């Protein structure tokens, strides 16, 4: 049994970061990449901001280990992360959760094999299915009736799907959602494991889970076989930095690590990797006390916002379609037709408050351990002064997160990878009903595809796309970013 003192003695270290600092202090003569030579040659103005970081922007040198064959300080840093996050093994990712999701699917699926997938998952999951040439079996999420936002999967739906498809190789779901809604992962893991297949979790927005009693348990704590966390989203790592956590023997790890080696850069940023090392240490040594500081601020803000008749926040009740709710996600749900989410975003940004995303009816604020009392007070001061006329009724739900579950039910006329390889042509969006999509249409954020290659474009999908285009939403995955035309299979 490992003592607590030994645990904390280990976790106070940041071996990769420490190795970079030691190397830079030697004042070495760098005859290696990158070309800025530890900051000696760099844009003069930019160096004022980047300067302190450049000496740590190193490469695979003696004593600094190799991400693709970790045996030294990177291996030690990853082992500390696994211990901290409750995993058996952890791998650092510098291509975001995207590369972790793709690698997991490549590891569990061979061409033609089935994988059960949450239909409102991130686009990277679809990309993994396409690269693996796997066959997705989609499960429609529950939808929160109060906000119109697609939440997580129901256990009974997953169990029924696995009975109908006993040859499925894994279940891949998202928990929590972009909006912080989650399911009972422990019960879901029990359901999936009865079929002796792995439960894979995109936990991009849950890297802080499990570190405070008021936060939901993490996927590792709940029995998942693999979880990918965007440590840069709700943690303190630099952008692009994620961790892949593993438990159990249901995933062939050699195949997984081979996939990671193919899709991660062969020249990973050591400055980014070291930020993962520091983010882990920070969460344990400073982050917990910061959680204690921020959580009461957010609770007080929720109580004050409850006095505003024109907006509401999701609440966890006995009748909720979600089982957990992240207190760090504040989804402002508008209850007036006089103000849209886009207009509210403009008002907030005029006061230097920059939300995570906006939609026709919602604005999402993402707090973290770095949120200050002044940040929270400013939000209240601005929202308190808004007094939209009460027009009776709610702003129509036409936005990226609030897509009813029925709109995910669409004929998959051909496999996604076959549709991408097929001959295609652009046609006016208005004329696309009945055609087979040749591209992925992804309202962004949050990056959840409304239409995937190989799906037949029905009337409902077309109406949603026309409405989103009218609202000037941003789209990823499309040839025409204005969506005047759409690529179809010819």
Q: Which residues of the chain form CATH 3.90.100.10? A: 410-489
| Residues 198-207: tens digit of each pLDDT | 999 999 999 9
Which uninterrupted H or E stretch holds 49? Answer: helix 44-50
Of 217, 228, 249, which is closest to residue 326 (Cα–Cα)? 217
49 Cβ neighbours under 8 A, 6+ residues apart: none
Residue of higher predicted confidence among 1 and 212? 212
- pTM of this prediction? 0.92
Residue 2's pLDDT band, with cuts at 50, 70 and 90, is low
Pick the CATH number of 410-489 from 3.90.100.10, 3.20.20.370, 3.30.1490.190, 3.30.1360.30: 3.90.100.10
Residue 120 confidence (pLDDT): 86
State how far the alpha carbon of 348 is from the alpha carbons of 295, 334, 339, 364, 384, in Å.
22, 14, 13, 11, 12
**Average pLDDT estimate for 392-397:** 44
Rounded to the nearest 10 degrees, what angle do helices 253-263 and 96-108 cross at?
A: 140
Which uninterrupted H or E stretch holds 487? Answer: strand 485-489
| Residues 276-316: tens digit of each pLDDT | 999 999 999 999 999 999 999 999 999 999 999 999 999 99
**Average pLDDT estimate for 172-193:** 97
The region of weakest confidence among 1-5, 313-317, 363-367 is 1-5
**Average pLDDT estimate for 248-275:** 97
Residue 173 confidence (pLDDT): 97
Query: To the nearest whole percent, how much of the chain has pLDDT over 70?
Result: 95
**Average pLDDT estimate for 424-445:** 91
The total of other beta-carbon atoms located within 10 Å of residue 111's CB is: 10
**Average pLDDT estimate for 172-195:** 97
The region of weakest confidence among 76-90, 238-252, 426-440, 462-476 is 462-476
**Range with the largest mean pLDDT of 342-356, 383-397, 442-456, 459-473:** 342-356
Asked if the model's pLDDT at residue 400 lies above 60, the reply is no
Query: To the nearest whole percent, how much of the chain has pLDDT over 90?
Result: 81
The alpha carbon of 274 is separated from its chain's Cα centroid by a whole number of angstroms, namely: 21
Residue 57 confidence (pLDDT): 97
Question: Is it true that domain 76-284 has CATH number 3.30.9.10?
Answer: no
Residue 409 confidence (pLDDT): 67
Q: Which residues of the chain form CATH 3.40.640.10? A: 76-284
3-state SS record for 146-191: CCCCECCCCHHHHHHHHHHCCCCCCEEEECCCCCCEECCHHHHHHH
Q: Which residues of the chain form CATH 3.90.1150.10? A: 291-385
Residue 408 confidence (pLDDT): 60
| Dist CA 121 CA 117 (whole Å) | 8
Residue 147 confidence (pLDDT): 87
Residue of higher predicted confidence among 465 and 279? 279
Residue 446 confidence (pLDDT): 64
**Under CATH, which architecture does the 291-385 domain have?**
Alpha-Beta Complex (3.90)
**Average pLDDT estimate for 192-212:** 98
Strand 181-182 to strand 199-202: parallel, antiparallel, or no bridges (unpaired)? unpaired
State how far the alpha carbon of 404 is from the alpha carbons of 147, 149, 210, 400, in Å.
10, 7, 30, 10
427 Cβ neighbours under 8 A, 6+ residues apart: 435, 485, 486, 488
The backbone torsions φ and ψ at residue 117, rounded to the nearest 5 degrees and listed phi first, read -130, 140
**Average pLDDT estimate for 316-327:** 95
Residue 65's pLDDT band, with cuts at 50, 70 and 90, is very high
Name the token pair of 443.
């309202």
Asked if the model's pLDDT at residue 394 lies above 80, the reply is no
Average pLDDT, the chain: 93
The region of weakest confidence among 2-6, 131-135, 396-400 is 396-400
Asked if the model's pLDDT at residue 109 lies above 90, the reply is yes
Residue 398 confidence (pLDDT): 39
Question: What is the number of residues in the chain?
Answer: 490
């Amino acid at each position: 049994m490992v003592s607590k003192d030994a645990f904390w003695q280990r976790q106070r270290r940041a071996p990769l970061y420490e190795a970079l600092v030691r190397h830079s202090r030697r004042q070495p003569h760098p005859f290696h990449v990158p070309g800025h030579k530890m900051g000696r040659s760099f844009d003069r103005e930019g160096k004022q901001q980047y300067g302190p970081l450049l000496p740590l922007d190193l490469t695979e040198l003696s004593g600094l280990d190799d991400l693709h064959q970790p045996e030294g300080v990177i291996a030690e840093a990853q082992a500390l992360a696994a211990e901290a996050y409750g995993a058996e093994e952890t791998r650092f990712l510098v291509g975001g959760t995207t590369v972790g999701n793709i690698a997991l699917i490549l590891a569990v699926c061979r061409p033609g094999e089935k994988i059960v997938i949450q239909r409102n998952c991130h686009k990277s999951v679809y990309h993994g299915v396409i690269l693996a040439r796997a066959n997705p079996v989609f499960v429609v999420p529950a939808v929160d009736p109060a906000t119109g936002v697609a939440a997580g999967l129901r256990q009974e739906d997953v169990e029924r799907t696995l009975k109908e498809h006993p040859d499925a190789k894994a279940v891949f779901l998202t928990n929590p959602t972009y909006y912080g809604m989650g399911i009972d992962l422990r019960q879901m893991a029990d359901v999936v494991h009865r079929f002796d297949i792995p439960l894979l979790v995109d936990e991009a927005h849950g890297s802080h889970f499990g570190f405070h009693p008021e936060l939901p348990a993490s996927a590792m704590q709940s029995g998942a076989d693999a979880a990918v966390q965007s440590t840069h989203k709700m943690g303190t790592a630099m952008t692009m930095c994620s961790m892949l956590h593993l438990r159990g023997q249901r995933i062939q790890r050699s195949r997984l690590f081979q996939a990671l080696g193919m899709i991660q850069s062969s020249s990973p940023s050591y400055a980014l990797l070291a930020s993962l090392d520091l983010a882990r240490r920070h969460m344990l040594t400073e982050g917990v006390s910061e959680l204690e500081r921020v959580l009461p601020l957010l609770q007080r803000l929720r109580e004050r916002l409850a006095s505003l008749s024109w907006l509401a926040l999701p609440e966890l009740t006995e009748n909720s379609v979600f089982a957990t709710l992240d207190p760090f996600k504040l989804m402002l749900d508008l209850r007036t037709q006089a103000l849209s989410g886009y207009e509210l975003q403009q008002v907030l940004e005029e006061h230097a408050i920059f939300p995570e995303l906006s939609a026709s009816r919602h604005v999402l604020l993402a707090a973290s351990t770095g949120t200050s009392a002044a940040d929270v007070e400013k939000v209240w001061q601005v929202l308190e002064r808004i007094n939209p006329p009460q027009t009776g009724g709610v702003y129509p739900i036409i936005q990226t997160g609030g897509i009813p579950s029925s709109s995910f039910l669409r004929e998959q006329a051909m496999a996604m990878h076959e549709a991408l390889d097929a001959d295609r042509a652009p046609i006016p969006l208005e004329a696309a009903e009945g055609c087979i999509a040749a591209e992925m249409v992804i309202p962004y954020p949050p990056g959840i595809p409304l239409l995937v290659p190989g799906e037949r474009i029905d009337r409902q999908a077309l109406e949603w796309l026309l409405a989103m285009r009218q609202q000037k939403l941003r789209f990823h995955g499309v040839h025409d970013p204005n969506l005047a035309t759409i690529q179809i299979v010819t």
